[in-house]
Amino acid sequence: MTDPIISRRQLSRRRLLTAVSAATAGGLLGSCSAPVQQFTLGTAENRGFFYDFGQSLTAAVSGTDVGFTLDPRITDGSVENLDSILAGKLDFALVLADVALPQREKLQAVGRLYLNYLQFAVAGNSSLRTVSQLRGKVISLGASSATIRAGRLLLEAGGLNESEVTIRQIPITEVLEALAAGDVEAALFAGGVPHPQMDTSTGRGPASGIRLLDLAAEQRTLQEQYGPVYQPVTLPKSLYASATEIASVGISTILLARPGLPNDVVSRVVDVLVTRSAELVPPGAVGIQFLDARSLIYTSGIPLHPGAAEAYKRNHA
């Protein structure tokens, strides 16, 4: 016969152990932090200007106590990014101003970033000097949607139809090799100056180096037709193998936010842009830089996201 006192003691001990186990399990569960929220960021082709900036911004956000992270996505560039923002498929996206402006009433900007410089490269010893001389040549207009779009406008401004040239699609990482091999005689790319992918010091590219076509006439035509979104810029004579200053076309980069994105999320991204700007200069962004509160707000007529507007007021922009 079982002693009733022992049975009660055993039952009490089992209940105590069960309670301790439950409390321990609860404590372990409570110590697990909730998953960090993540927001997508549309960039562009691998190793391009947008890609490098996206990596820098992602790192800066991760190094700041904002409560979320960014997930940079390789995309086809501005056109895809714009479509994805409008469709709600991206939370943030980098888009060239000329691509975004036609849809500005549907968009919300975080800020204006850098100028993107259009650069039409040829071999240093090439006889080509202007866009109009490309007639009958094999050329590349880049591999990202915005660069291809800009290249078509440059051809048109230079008096050429697409049918008068042979176009090959060369990514930024292969431009030097394509020029060296003679696969193309001219290649358009965009970004800062000098672009890190155009470094010939390690033996890449044509033996004579590369030189840029002068785009002064095309810039004037584009500005007359489409407005100040196509800005005149002068690149230094020390750039690449150029012996003289070269006129180019500058287009502002706009960071867009998905309409409806929480104000505090966008506001904190603005804070990162303003307070950690030194970390957001990707390789090659030697040209005009806009990363300060006073100039970030000039978004080419695209309205600011409410969260961005709040942040700029807080930062006295």
**Is residue 196 pLDDT above 80, yes or no?**
yes
At 45, the pLDDT band (50, 70, 90 cuts) reads: confident
pLDDT-derived band of residue 7, with 50, 70 and 90 as boundaries? very low
pLDDT at 284: 55
* Rounded mean pLDDT, 261-265: 98
- Convert the pLDDT of each residue in 93-146 to its tens digit: 999 999 999 999 999 999 999 888 999 999 999 999 999 999 999 999 999 889
**Alpha carbon of residue 201 to chain centroid:** 26
Q: What does the DSSP 8-state code read for residue 305?
A: P
User: For residue range 232-258, what is the model confidence (pLDDT) as tens digits?
Assistant: 999 988 889 888 999 999 999 999 999
Find all residues with CB under 8 Å of 316, minimum gap 6, and list them. 293
Answering whether pTM is above 0.85, one says no
Indicate if the pLDDT at residue 20 is higher than 50: no
Sign of CA dihedral 195, 196, 197, 202: positive
According to DSSP, the residues that pair with 210 across neighbouring strands are 123
| pLDDT exceeds cutoff 90 at 63 | yes
- Which residue ranges form the domains of the chain, and what is each CATH number? 37-114+253-314 (3.40.190.10), 117-251 (3.40.190.10)
C-alpha separations of 195 from 102, 210, 280, 294 in Å: 28, 12, 16, 26
- Average pLDDT across the chain, whole number: 88
Average pLDDT rounded to a whole number, residues 67-83: 96
Over residues 75-99, the mean pLDDT reads: 96
Averaged pLDDT for residues 157-185: 97
Distance CA 283, CA 100 (A): 25
CA separation for the pair 29, 18 (Å, rounded): 16
Q: To which residue do tokens 């007529």 refer?
A: 301
Q: Give the pLDDT score at 16.
A: 43
